[in-house]
Amino acid sequence: MESVISQRLAAALGEEGDATDFRRLSGGANMETWAFRWSVGDRTQPLILRRRPGSGIDHPFLPKALPLDAEAQLLSLAQQEGVAVPTVLASLQPEDALGEGLIMTLLEGEALPQRIMREDRFAKARERFAFQCGESLARIHTVDPSDLPGGLRDLSWSEDLQRLQSLCDQFGNPSPVHQLALNWLQRQPEPQSRRVLCHGDFRMGNLLLSEDSFAAVLDWELAHVGYAGEDLGYVCAAVWRFGGRAPVGGLGSYRQLLDGYRSVNGIAPDLDEVLLWELYAALGWGIVCLTMLELHESGEDPGLERAAVGRRLSESEMDILLLLERLS
Amino acid sequence: MTSREVLLQALNDFLTKDVQPQLSGASAYKTRIARNLINLLLREVSLGDSLAALDAIGAETFALEGDFSESLSVALRDGQVLEDEALITFLRRRTLLQMAIDNPRYSGFREACARWPDLVGKLGEELGEELGE
């Protein structure tokens, strides 16, 4: 791997060097993240390799993974709108036989929710978190949809609800509370917010924080075209509050989130729509639990955590019932 | 014969006292997950019968056959069960009980207990009487 990476970087950056000290940071069944050092003469720079070793898990219940070259285009488009993201330096090619991969800059910061929630040095970042979520999302949503790479999911409101119903049906309809949420969503008129590029997984854990601001928005694998409200409701979902009580990542208020959003270009979805998308996110989390359970049971992704996630279904049900009381 | 509670508790004590202190990193993390799952099973041993009783009442009240949750979901999807106060109350109660087994430390569980105090602790026959009224 080291020599292939060295060649790709040398070709892309126009100078010979050595890629060394590869260290696996994280990775599920689909995607690996590695940190390594790139040395040219006596200069050395820490870099990141994101790599999809095979074609990924191909399962009818899983959305098709966004190709990494499309992800690279999205990062570049978001960067042009002022979103903090890593810079892509080079990508792996088919003849490298390492699967798809992107080589990018390593940005300093902390993504682990438990540290961000507790450590004193993040006090200022916590205070600004909700406002800065709003700001970053508004910038992502400013990307011109006509510039987007092909192949992004782009479903209308009714098509999307149909997709969720089919998933519930495929999993054998284990949850009447999920069906209650779907029925409620189906009775609502189409959301009013604009159709935009949605990050799709914008939440604590995928956000790299420095001590006073956002260092990077990571993990763009679930990006798609959707309603602006969707990302705003998602970041408020109870599952991403990590023990905190406040709606936005356990740290901030709806108002701070929407003020941050509005500060970019003067408009924001209204709170009722954000709550609708929060319900949608709770249902989505329930479906993710069912998907992971299915992958476990089919033997695609063995392991204790996947087996246990089936028992987190009741969290999504509790969230849905609490939200429905507030929304009705 | 040794009861399920005693066996599960012995398993948990073993992992906690003998295994956990020797581990670090990923295996320590996974062992903590394993211990949490044993605790979940212990809660299921004590509350599982109440959940089954609640489902039996639900099946009778909503006139459903087969796997209760699945039949109720399908009936809701097909508009064959009314989304009225009785149904919502039933689902809140059932979810509270399921959550008491799965993860009573979940923040939403505590919030729901505070919001719907009269639903907590009322299970089995008591609920049947109320729904039958």
Beta carbons of A17 and A9 less than 8 angstroms apart: yes
* A18 Cα to chain B: minimum distance (Å): 30
* A149 Cα to chain B: minimum distance (Å): 36
Residues B1 and A316: their CA atoms lie apart, in Å, by 38
Q: What is the percent of chain A where pLDDT is above 90?
A: 68
Amino acid identity of residue A279, one-letter, is L
Q: Is the pLDDT of residue B130 over 70?
A: no
Q: Which residues of A touch B92 (CB under 8 A)?
A: 321
What is the per-residue pLDDT for A72? Answer: 93
Surface of B (104-123) touching A: CB under 8 A:
106-109, 111-112, 115
Tens digits of residue pLDDT in A270-295: 999 999 999 999 999 999 999 888 88
What is the per-residue pLDDT for A24? Answer: 86
pTM of the predicted structure, to 2 decimals: 0.91
Q: Is the pLDDT of residue A58 over 70?
A: no
Tens digits of residue pLDDT in A188-225: 999 999 999 999 999 999 999 999 888 999 989 899 99
Q: Which residues of A touch B83 (CB under 8 A)?
A: 180, 183
Residues A275 and A271: their CA atoms lie apart, in Å, by 6
Instruction: Confirm or reject contact between A312 and chain B (CB < 8 A).
Output: yes
Find the CB nearest A173 among B74, B88, B98.
Answer: B74
* A303 Cα to chain B: minimum distance (Å): 9
Q: Which residues of B touch A183 (CB under 8 A)?
A: 76-77, 83
What is the per-residue pLDDT for A61? Answer: 61
Across A10-26, average pLDDT: 85
Find the CB nearest A314 among B83, B102, B107.
Answer: B102
* A79 Cα to chain B: minimum distance (Å): 35
B70/A245 touch (CB, cutoff 8 Å), yes or no: no
Tens digits of residue pLDDT in B41-57: 999 999 999 999 999 99
* B68 Cα to chain A: minimum distance (Å): 9
CA atoms within 13 A on the CB side of A74: 28
Mean pLDDT score across all residues of chain A: 91
- H or E element in which residue B99 lies: helix B85-102
A311/B103 touch (CB, cutoff 8 Å), yes or no: yes
What is the per-residue pLDDT for B127? Answer: 44
Tens digits of residue pLDDT in A156-176: 999 999 999 999 999 999 999
Find the CB nearest B108 among A180, A182, A315.
Answer: A315
